[in-house]
Structure 1
Amino acid sequence: MGNPEGGKTGTGCAVPDEDDYEDPPPTRRDRLRSWGPLLVPVVVFGGIAAFVFAGIAGLARTSHAPDYSASSCSPSDPHKVLVEVQTGATGKDIGDALFNAGVVRSTQAFVDAAGHNQSARDISTGTYRVCPKISAATAITELLKSSNLSPDSLVEVRPGDYSWETVRQLAKKREWSLDDLQQLIDTNQIGLPSWSKSADGHWTAEGMLEPGRYTLTSSDTPQGVLTAMVKTRVAELTALGLPAKAAALKCAPARACTPEEALTIASLAEAEVTKATPDGREVSEAVQNRLSRGDFVGVDATTKYWLSLQAGKRITVTAKEVSDPTDPYATGGHKGLPPTPVSIPSKDMIAAVLTPATERWYYWCASGDGTKFFKESEKTRFEQTCLSH
């Protein structure tokens, strides 16, 4: 059953509206520990910042290189210039980029300053907005500020997002062709596992892009970015045992779940509740109980996914739309699961779904004070609690 106001009620519950998708700055984790000259790491996706190795300790000179004296850079300086730090850039590469942009007075000044500042190894790939004519030491400080990263070089993938939202973000931010990105998915040039297909047999990336904060540069390609996101997610799903554990779940009266269906249940749980533990395990059990009895799953989140995809933005749905038999994602109008996952589930939510509760849950609804679950015999109490207002 749906909830026209978009609240989390019914046999399931709708995801909150998230029309504003701003890109928060990336966190900095997993710092590189080694500091040998010319070491070149690769970009790592899936929530781990992509750090470049400045490779400068061995290049520092004792002689004084030409340098500016300015020791500060105002965040509101209207004269800021763009400086791109490429994946695998050395200290000299970064110094050259700064010098060519008019930020530092000489490449060697940056190399020397970085050789005396261990924090320089934490400079991330991306495009930065930096003041011109500042000291090399100040330039390092500015490159270490995530707030200076250009929004166009940042993409965040969050649990509960739709994969198609990420694809559209990439197309917009990098001026890539949306059709080309979709073609990479449709022809599986991004490393999707053999089971990552919709109910009608088409490749789908829904739920298969790893959550995390990503920094991008002009050297990145659509195929490279999507492949890295999928590769990290596949490794995570393998570690969780998804392919094997899916076979222990029920997705029909006399059939176990496929890995794609197990991921779909996790995506429903991600869209329906606010916490993986214990709600994820309980939603998993409730959905399986309904599927094993041939009942409607009847959640708003599936309809919202499909209609939002058609509209190109998140929208609210009505009870009539949730039960629309012409909508392939209307789980109040069609029995069984939707054709694909309907969100990107978190690692914790997937793990919870793979170990469902054993309390005979059948219905649920969410409100401000948490998610409430009901057994099949408690239908009247469920309706009074969740559908009467």
Structure 2
Amino acid sequence: MRAIKKFIYLVILIALAAVAGFSYWAKQPITTEGEPIAFVIAPGSGVSAASQDIARAGVPINPYLFSTLARVTQKASRIKAGSYELKPGTTPRALVDQLVRGEFAQESLTIIEGWTFKQMRQAVAASKTLKHDTAELSDKELLARISSEFKSPEGLFFPDTYLFAKGSSDLAVYKQAHELLLNRLNAAWEKRDASLPYKSPYEALIMASIVEKETGQKSERAMIAAVFVNRLKQGMMLQTDPTVIYGMGDNFAGNIRKKDLETDTPYNTYTRSGLPPTPIALPGVQSLAAALGPAKSNALYFVARGDGTSKFSDNLNDHNKAVNQYQR
């Protein structure tokens, strides 16, 4: 009888030791140094298969113990498929919680103010961590997946840094950038001066893209916008080189000539009055603000001083003097 009791006590002690050891293991860092270890949990994977995938990816963890931990904490059925990274210092218990919350490995893609949509597509296509679902789509087909309101994708995506999980569809990035652009544009449109000569938010977007390409000086954007708004109000041609360059497409070789200014295209604002038919670039928030809140000025002309700033003039005579002073 005593032997049986001793045996039972021994079993209990072993069980308690096992539980204590398991609890201790669950709270210890899996790794303490080195680079994050990437791994993927496939859709439809159960906790056992997920544990095996994690171990095969190079995470130094016992798959059986890890799957047991997920089960005893009643989280096994809540693990989410996706791409993850194990960071140094993460414990098994914290890793289970990470998988339950779906804290996927984050990548980023930066879209630059003033880029054309073509440049944006090139940047998206160059990402090695996106799933390229739009690679075979034309610009119009891609836009149709996002919006039925517009005919051209130019200018319809907000330049910013976008975060996404590894393996995300590139279409999701386009959708996010488009939605952010519309939000920023509509917010600025609601605060616009009622005297502005725009018939729609889209026309304001076109102006913002021109402002974006005309100057890199943030402090001058409101004045640049004022010049073009004043010209529109007076029925003057905009005569802005960036629209001409955009209309030339791949024919632009880095230098605009008199011949180019005289060659008519839908974007040549030296040969056609009013705004061009679409934006010419991706405008940032400051250019949107300038287009919809231009400076209070009578200026109709500006010329580069050569130091990155511009000289603004209210009349042609003063403008010609400024041209002679700064460019001739």
Amino acid at match of 2:319: K
- Decide whether the 8 Å contact of 1:156 with 1:214 is kept in 2: yes
Amino acid at match of 1:184: E
- Structure with the larger helix share: 2
C-alpha change, 1:247 and 1:227, in structure 2 (3 Å) is farther
Q: CA separation in 2, counterparts of 1:127 and 1:316?
A: 44
Q: Compute the displacement of 1:306 (Å).
A: 3.7
Q: Compute the displacement of 1:104 (Å).
A: 3.4
Pair member with larger Rg: 2
- Decide whether the 8 Å contact of 2:184 with 2:285 is kept in 1: yes
Other structure's SS at 2:23 match: coil
The answer as to 2:60 corresponding to 1:104 is yes
* Aligned position for 1:169: 123
* Aligned position for 1:205: 153
* Aligned position for 1:285: 226
C-alpha change, 1:85 and 1:301, in structure 2 (3 Å) is farther
Q: CA separation in 2, counterparts of 1:282 and 1:302?
A: 18
C-alpha change, 1:372 and 1:345, in structure 2 (3 Å) is same
C-alpha change, 1:73 and 1:383, in structure 2 (3 Å) is same
Aligned mate of 1:265, from 207, 210, 214? 207
Q: Compute the displacement of 1:212 (Å).
A: 1.7
> For residues 156-195 of structure 1, what are the alpha-carbon distances to aligned partners after superposition, in whole Å with 9 as ceiling and x for unaligned?
1122122222123223434444441524345x33136x4x
* Aligned position for 1:372: 311
Amino acid at match of 2:244: T
C-alpha change, 1:222 and 1:353, in structure 2 (3 Å) is same
Aligned mate of 1:248, from 173, 185, 195? 195
C-alpha change, 1:227 and 1:69, in structure 2 (3 Å) is closer
- Decide whether the 8 Å contact of 1:210 with 1:229 is kept in 2: yes
Q: TM-score, normalised by structure 1?
A: 0.58
C-alpha change, 1:209 and 1:126, in structure 2 (3 Å) is farther
* Aligned position for 2:185: 237
Q: What is the root-mean-square deviation in Å for CA atoms of aligned residues?
A: 4.2
C-alpha change, 1:302 and 1:386, in structure 2 (3 Å) is farther
Q: CA separation in 2, counterparts of 1:135 and 1:349?
A: 44
The answer as to 2:288 corresponding to 1:350 is yes
Number of corresponding residues: 276
Q: Compute the displacement of 1:302 (Å).
A: 1.7
C-alpha change, 1:358 and 1:98, in structure 2 (3 Å) is same
C-alpha change, 1:98 and 1:211, in structure 2 (3 Å) is farther
- Decide whether the 8 Å contact of 2:132 with 2:170 is kept in 1: no
Aligned mate of 1:337, from 265, 272, 275? 275
Q: Compute the displacement of 1:106 (Å).
A: 4.3
Q: Compute the displacement of 1:257 (Å).
A: 3.7
The answer as to 2:262 corresponding to 1:301 is no
Amino acid at match of 2:312: F
Contiguous gaps of at least 5 residues in structure 2: 1-21, 43-47, 70-81, 99-104
Q: CA separation in 2, counterparts of 1:292 and 1:235?
A: 27
C-alpha change, 1:155 and 1:322, in structure 2 (3 Å) is farther
- Decide whether the 8 Å contact of 2:140 with 2:152 is kept in 1: no
Amino acid at match of 2:204: A
Q: CA separation in 2, counterparts of 1:376 and 1:95?
A: 74
Q: Compute the displacement of 1:222 (Å).
A: 4.3
The higher relative CO (CA closer than 8 Å, separation ≥ 6) is in: 1
C-alpha change, 1:216 and 1:62, in structure 2 (3 Å) is same
Q: Compute the displacement of 1:214 (Å).
A: 2.1
Other structure's SS at 1:361 match: coil
Q: Compute the displacement of 1:269 (Å).
A: 1.0
Q: CA separation in 2, counterparts of 1:73 and 1:363?
A: 59
Aligned mate of 1:228, from 176, 182, 198? 176
Other structure's SS at 1:180 match: coil
The answer as to 2:6 corresponding to 1:64 is no
Other structure's SS at 1:170 match: helix
Contiguous gaps of at least 5 residues in structure 1: 1-60, 75-79, 87-91, 113-124, 144-148, 197-202, 251-255
C-alpha change, 1:387 and 1:109, in structure 2 (3 Å) is farther
Amino acid at match of 2:277: P
Q: CA separation in 2, counterparts of 1:364 and 1:262?
A: 21
Amino acid at match of 1:286: V
Q: CA separation in 2, counterparts of 1:181 and 1:294?
A: 36
Amino-acid identity (%) = 19
> For residues 95-114 of structure 1, what are the alpha-carbon distances to aligned partners after superposition, in whole Å with 9 as ceiling and x for unaligned?
8765341133247779x9xx
